[in-house]
Amino acid sequence: MALGDPGLGKCLDMLSILYFQQFKETQAIEDLKGRLRCSQAAVEVTPAGHTLLSGRYQSLAASYLEMYKETSDFGYLAAALRSENLYPTGVSAQHSKLPEDLQHLAASYLTMYKDTGDFHHLFSALKNGHASVHQASIHDPKLPLYQYNLTTFYLDMYYKTGDSGCLESALKYGHASVYEASTNDSELVGDMAALQSYDTIHQKINNSQHLKTPHSQAAVSIIPVVQPINPTFLHGLALSYHEKFKITGNIQDLEASLKYDCSAVLFTPLGDQTLSYYLQHLATNYATKFENRNQKQDLEVAQKFATGAVAALQRGHPDHTQCQLKLGNLYHRQIYGRPRSGTQKGLPEWYFVKYGEPGWLDYNKQLFGRLDEEEEEDDDGYEDMAVSELYIHNTPKYFDGLVSSYWHIHEKAEGIQDLEVALRPGHLAVDRLPIVYPDESIQDQDTALEFNQAFVDAAPADHSELPKHQKNLAVSYIRRYTRLGNASDLSTALQHGHAAIDAMNMDHPLFVQTHLDLARIYKVKYTATGDAEALETAISFSQTNLTLTSNLDSSSCRSELASCYQLKYQSVGNAQDLMCSFTNLYSGINTTPLGHPALSYYLQGLALSHLFHHSKTGEIHSLHDALKYGHATIDATYMGDYRIPHYQQKLSACYLAKYKATGDMENLEIALNYGILAKEETPEKHPELPKFHEQLIDCYETKYRRTGDIKDLYAAATCAKIALKETPPGHPNMPRYLYIIGILYHSNFQRDRNFDTWEVAINCCHTAVLKTPTGHPNLPEYQYGLALVHADMYRHIARPKDLKSALSFFQLATEGLSIGHSNLPRYQQGLGRTYQARYRKHEGLQDLRTAQKLFWAAIQGTPKGHYTLPSLQHDLALCYKYKYKQTKDPQNLTIALELYNSALQSITASPQLLWDIGIQYIKIATELRTPKILDICSSVLNILPSLLWLGSSINVRHETLIRQEVPAFISIAVNIALKSSQPQVAIEFFEQGLSTTHRQIQQLNRKYDSLENQLPDEAKKLRELSILLKQSSDEPHSLNYHVLAQDRKNLIDKIHTHPNFSDFLLPLKYPKLSMAAKHGPVILLNVNDTATDVIIMLSPTLPPLHFPLPEISSQVVQAYIKSLKGALRKLTEGGMSFPQATFNSPEHVLNDIKKWLWNMVVKPIFSVLQENGFSRGRLWWCPSGPFTNLPLHAAAPPTSKYIQSYTPTLDALVHSNSRLTQPDANDIFTAIGVIASEVPGWEHPLKSVEGELNIVGKLFQHQGQQLKDEQVSLSNVIQALHSSAWLHFSCHGEQDSNNPLESGLILHNTKLELGHILGIDLPKAKFAFLSACETAKGDGNLPNEAMHLAGGFIAAGFQGTIGTWWVMTDQDGPLVAELVYEKILGKDNIPDVRRAAEGLHLAVQTLRKNRARPSQWMPFIHMGI
């Protein structure tokens, strides 16, 4: 056919259509290209002004659009827009197709906008949409459609800009579309009555196969009959009113939205898949109405519509599970009001929810089953369901709801089975569905880099696509640099980024994005190298971007600019930079509509800026704002978004800062929890993972500083090693992790003083300094750490080279920071401490002045209330103390006293630091003879509960007692009170230092009747927490244990607000303590370096007596303890076979100790008792310090009339007296004996056990039971402990000096440990006879803690016990047991616990009369009443 032939165009049109039909069948891209070539040719052969030209332009535009859909090449979309811009110009304004063509053009611009986000395309869509409406005839049947489309354009504009005028325009054209479509307003009324009136479609729904779901019947009443009006227009109007309601809060706007949504439902045919969408939106509107009016019927209507939405979808439809979730949430609201996203908050849902009915359980069980079915279907070919974005993003929510339901049943029924069921899906939610990351594999990133590199290498310099690929290549290289740390990748990224920007003009669609990429690359360069010029360049690029974009498109630019200013503030400390960050972030938020992805970036930036402001100023409101915006960031981010772990990590940092500001342990646990979540939700090998480990390190190390638990330090070290392992060699973050490991090893060195540990610390810190370039912002920190390690070694062994290195690196670190930098006070403190250490060695006054000057500067640079301030005040006070020694000017001590007083008021300092401060405070106050010295002692003793934190393990608390020298301080405080002539106060101080860990255990075991009578709810909660704490004691380092301990503390603080319980569980005052002497005198012994103080509590009505034993110092007592240990060691090694008369034999040594105790200690005390009318009867020893390791009870002669007992604390004796009941013949007695144990090392048989059990059995034949040999399992013994009032053990015993909690009684095949006993609730317990070795032998390192089995039974609730100090002779057991129990039973044959001490007294007298060796009768002691 000839070129000018008029039929050529028609042939090309037909050929274009054939190509498109063939494409539909083959999906071959070549067919689309054929269509495009024919359309292009048809336009070219059509003369200008021809009537077919506009149609052929339209066909060409459609061809370009199809190519764009297949290839995602923006060039085709741009060509489609050019074609559509051309063909309307060739059409007369009166042409009937003009409105339709303009509508096509508007739709194309909208597609371009949605793909690029370019606001100008949205504006063009709006402009052409307007033109389409105005060009259409009023009788044009498509006019309502054009008006509806204009409504959606205005809604998009409103979402983009937040301009309420756009919303009003959307409403205007929405109304027009609806009322053009229907002239009868009554047709538009769609309320519930109308929707429920369609009963005639029951059969139709039941016959519809895809609607046969559990919700079919509920859907029957709301699925409408088809009506002749387009529901899409109605729904568009409903959406507009819903958005208007969000702005105005006017309930009439919400009612209007409901009206048009109801109408949309009415006019949607059954089976149309949009029906579910309209029903769902209608349910949402009613739920919104419920939230505003709180009327239950609105929520019930919402549930009904949501049920219909589920029913209207086929099973397997992509939206089916989402509709189920929304229905479940509505049931959730019925119980709790508004649902909360526990997973997004970083904590499990059941952790927050406390009340409600389990009405939402059934639906969630069904939904959980639905997900299980889907998982099974995956195996049958439904793989897409398992990995769909909807499924991945939302399944954790489904599990979260089910967990909530079971948790509420557990709350009601208190059944562990329901709780276990609740936990199972919660774990599945974490395990099955990880965070979805956009870059799913390193291989994909590398492939993208190779592709872009190949294109850039092959393309000619003038290729139009070259700048785009250079830009992409820059991004690929910087990603690889972030992952691997190869410096060449960083320089290559900059090279390609600049090449891309140089090849673009300002109108290039990627010009702004490339600028932004360059800003990010320079920011990465700064963080890696510390190059300040790189940061300034990043700021410059970001600022340039703001001038190139409107407020509507500047979200990324502002966010990036704010981030750069934050980095600059961290480096320089200039407040102006932080203000610039705030300005950009607030501006970004004000111009970003809700739901926009950039909103979370702005919120996160605000959280960080407020956190930095708090770090600088110490202002608590900044910290609250940081937390507020941190939570808002997570709330504004879709669940499953790959950014969530990053936000959780930052939220962890905010909570950690809050802990440091408030000292509240709960904040530390929340910080740790968020840190763990961030790590666990991040894939392995992800480049951000080491950063999340770093946050965990900070949390664990802070926790270690608070609790002293070495497990926390080890956990921090483990995280640091993992972070280092995951960091490639040469990566810029490598020095950071080396430094962290060095600091952690330094912390361990401070604990164990192991030189190998110090070597690791010094090598790591030194390597970190060497590998960090000069000028890097982290270099001062690494120099500070290296100086810290050197300085600590100098204080330890005083090596001059360590002093030189410490001073040098401290100086470098300090000089590397600008004035006002937040780290400067810390570095000044380190340098000051080094000068102070040199002063202590050489007493050079200049060193002291330099240290003093540095500490003052550090204090002035530290915000008021900052957690580091007490430490600085402590260091400065020491300077004034040393200065006093030089000058003898008391003014120096006065200043030191003021500093210590201020430091001691801190609520943020660690208890360990406050304890150290308190000890120094008292020393200075004593020297100045401050009148309020006793108040100061009381303040320091009030630190003990925090120092010996219940949330720490008992072992950690014991380590703290030793490390902080608590017994020594108690001795000092008691001595101060006695010198102040305040023996009653001295007794109160004395009591606070006795068996602190036992007292904590006793408080967990006790019942508080008065609390239950007056505050029953608080009493119940306290009892529940106590039970949980005892059950969790095996893992005290766990999160749950610390949270429980904090909850208990908060509850006790609340109880203190009640006027009748202001002293609840606080240390007892003397009037209550005096009741310990209700049945006989109590003797307290307090020894110090110069003398021993004796305090005798004669009775509750008589004042306590005090007198000194000036010749007995702690050194003298320790010497006799050493002799005793030596004698006992020989006794054990010799099998108790030494002849009594041998010089220096164990028996000879025991006699010497006994004589010394009688002459120097016991006899003077007994003389005072006799002078005051107490010459016989019961008395109790309550020794402290080293006296707890000497057998005071054995010193008296056989003729003594005193019946002696011990008590671990006065409170224990008071409590036992208060619980004393009348003897009961029905009490259960259990005798437990093990002749030959199967426990390795304890197979040696005890021949006398059989006879001992027989004797005891005869005495208690009416109320007794026996467990022997194989019957003596741990479970049987624990059962006996629960059920028995009286217990007799005849077996081997062991005192573990390394771990006192593992001391125990040897059973048949295991051991009943002290730790077991302390964790058992023993409501019936009265008396335990421990006929075994070493059951009353304490730990010499913990003299005040009564860490032995006899004391443990008292702490667990027994009123009295008999135990042995050391190894007992096997054959003595039956005799002693018989004499004791005969006395206990008495003439009436009813056991009375008060007679046990007298029974032992008679038994020991009998042994002595029978000429038993001292080693045989001395070990038996009685404890309790």
**β-sheet bridge partners, residue 1109:** 1092
b/e code 582-594 from CB counts within 10 Å (16+ = b):
bebbbbbbebbee
The secondary structure of 1127-1175 as a DSSP string is: HHHHHHHHTT---TTSTTSHHHHHHHHHHHHIIIIIHHHHHHHHHTT--
More confident residue, 220 or 543: 543
> Distance between CA atoms of 171 and 5, rounded to whole angstroms?
52
* All residues at 6 or more sequence positions from 352 whose CB lies less than 8 Å from its CB, including other chains: 340, 342, 345
What distance separates the 2 farthest-apart alpha carbons in the chain? 143
Element (H, E) at 1092: strand 1092-1097
The structure tokens listed for 633 are 């960031």
Question: What pLDDT digit, counting tens, does each position of 763-790 carry?
Answer: 999 999 999 988 888 999 999 999 999 9
**pLDDT over 80 at 333, yes or no:** no
- Percentage, residues of the chain above pLDDT 70: 81
Structural contact between residues 858 and 829, judged by C-beta atoms closer than 8 angstroms: yes
Tens of pLDDT along 1268-1313? 999 999 999 999 998 899 999 999 988 887 777 788 999 998 999 8
Q: In the predicted model, what is the mean pLDDT of residues 65-94?
A: 61
Q: What is the pLDDT of residue 331?
A: 58
Q: CA quadruple 519, 522, 528, 534: dihedral positive or negative?
A: negative
Name the helix (H) or strand (E) containing 1093. strand 1092-1097
The mean pLDDT of 610-637, rounded to a whole number, is 89
Q: Which of 569, 567, 572 is nearest to 535 (CA)?
A: 567
Cα 962 to Cα 946, 947, 1200, 1303, 1346: the distances in Å are: 16, 12, 37, 19, 14
- Residue 480 to residue 973: CA distance in whole angstroms: 63
- Element (DSSP H or E) covering residue 399: helix 389-413
Beta partners for residue 70, in sequence order? none
As given in the structure block, the two tokens for residue 750 are 């401070």
Q: What is the pLDDT of residue 46?
A: 83
pLDDT of 202 higher than 70: no
User: Residue 1183: what are its φ and ψ, rounded to 5°?
Assistant: -80, 165
Per-range mean pLDDT, top range of 195-204, 441-450, 480-489: 480-489
Radius of gyration of the chain (CA): 41
Phi and psi angles of residue 820, each rounded to the nearest 5 degrees, phi first: 95, -5
pLDDT surpassing 80 at residue 1404: yes
Residue 1308 near residue 1237 (C-beta atoms within 8 A): yes
More confident position, 119 or 925: 925
User: How high is the pLDDT of residue 1135?
Assistant: 56
Euclidean distance between CA atoms 1290 and 1285, whole angstroms: 17
CA distance linking residue 345 with residue 435, whole number of Å = 15
**Torsion (CA) 853, 855, 860, 862 in degrees, nearest 10:** 160
First to last CA, the chain: 123
Q: Which two tokens stand for residue 1205?
A: 């007992």
Beta bridge partners of 1250: none
Contact 477, 489 (CB under 8 A): yes
pLDDT digits over 544-594, tens only? 888 877 654 566 788 889 999 999 988 888 889 999 999 989 888 887 777
pLDDT at 119: 62
Residue (of 63, 75, 61) closest to 31 by Cα position: 63
Q: Which helix (H) or strand (E) holds 1232?
A: strand 1229-1233
Alpha helices in 618-643 (DSSP H): 620-635
Contact 1253, 1214 (CB under 8 A): no
From the centroid of its chain, how far is CA 1211?
36
pLDDT given for residue 435 in this prediction: 38
* Contact call for residues 167 and 158 (beta carbons, < 8 A): yes
**What H or E segment, with its residue span, contains residue 1096?**
strand 1092-1097
The identity of residue 282, as a single letter, is L
Query: To 5 degrees, how large is the angle CA 1005–CA 1006–CA 1009?
Result: 150
Using the CB atoms, write b or e for 1381-1392: b if 16+ within 10 Å. Answer: bebbbeeeeebb
Q: Which helix (H) or strand (E) holds 257?
A: helix 251-266
Please check whether residue 913 is in contact with residue 929, taking contact to mean a CB–CB distance below 8 angstroms.
no
**In what helix (H) or strand (E) does residue 78 lie, and over which residues does it extend?**
helix 74-86
Q: What is the pLDDT of residues 120-173, one digit of tens each?
A: 677 678 777 877 887 787 778 888 888 888 888 878 877 766 666 677 888 888
Least confident piece of the model among 11-15, 701-705, 756-760, 918-922: 11-15
Q: What is the mean pLDDT of residues 469-497?
A: 90
Q: Which helix or strand (DSSP H or E) is residue 1018 part of? A: helix 1016-1031
Is residue 1205 within a helix (H) or strand (E), and if so which, with residue range?
strand 1202-1206
Mean pLDDT of 1346-1350: 80
Q: Are 265 and 279 in contact (CB under 8 A)?
A: yes
DSSP state, 1340? T
Spatial neighbors of 851 by CB under 8 A, at least 6 apart, are: 832, 833, 835, 836, 839, 875, 879
How far apart CA 1 and CA 7 sit, in angstroms, is 8
The answer for residues whose C-beta is within 8 angstroms of residue 431's C-beta and 6 or more apart is none
DSSP assignment, residue 441?
A: -
CB atoms inside a 10 Å sphere around CB 1051 = 16
Output DSSP code: residue 87: G
Which one is predicted more confidently, 1218 or 439? 1218
List, as one string, the DSSP characters of 29-43.
Answer: HHHHHHHHHHHHHHH
* CA distance linking residue 297 with residue 251, whole number of Å: 16
Q: CA separation (Å) from 1226 to 1231, 1262, 1286?
A: 16, 9, 11
pLDDT at 841 over 50: yes
Quickly count: other Cβ atoms within 10 Å of residue 238's Cβ.
28
> What is the rounded average pLDDT of the residues 913-918?
93
- Of 378-392, 888-902, 1101-1115, 1258-1272, the poorest mean pLDDT is in 378-392
Distances (CA, A) of 1390 to 1020, 1222, 1398: 35, 10, 16
Q: Pairing between strand 1082-1087 and 1286-1290?
A: unpaired
DSSP element (H, E) containing 1106:
strand 1105-1109
DSSP 8-state assignment for residue 1067: P
d(CA 170, CA 168) in angstroms, rounded, equals 5
Q: What is the pLDDT of residues 413-470, one digit of tens each?
A: 334 343 333 333 333 332 323 333 344 456 666 777 887 788 888 888 888 888 988 9
Residue 968 neighbours by CB under 8 Å, 6+ apart: none
Q: Strand 1293-1294 to strand 1304-1306: parallel, antiparallel, or no bridges (unpaired)?
A: antiparallel
Q: For position 366, what pLDDT does the model report?
A: 42
Give residue-wise pLDDT tens across range 658-679: 998 888 888 888 999 999 999 9
Output b/e per residue, 1178-1193; b: 16+ Cβ within 10 A.
bbbbbbbbbbbbbbbb
Residue, of 734 and 380, whose pLDDT is higher:
734
Pairing of strands 1311-1313, 1304-1306: antiparallel
Q: Rounded CA gap, 284 and 299, in Å?
A: 10
Structure token digits, residue 314: 């086929």
Q: How far apart are CA 705 and CA 1063, in angstroms?
A: 29
Query: How many CB atoms are closer than 10 A to CB 443?
Result: 8
> Crossing angle of helices 296-311/320-336, nearest 10°?
160
Residue-wise pLDDT tens digits, 890-901: 899 999 999 999
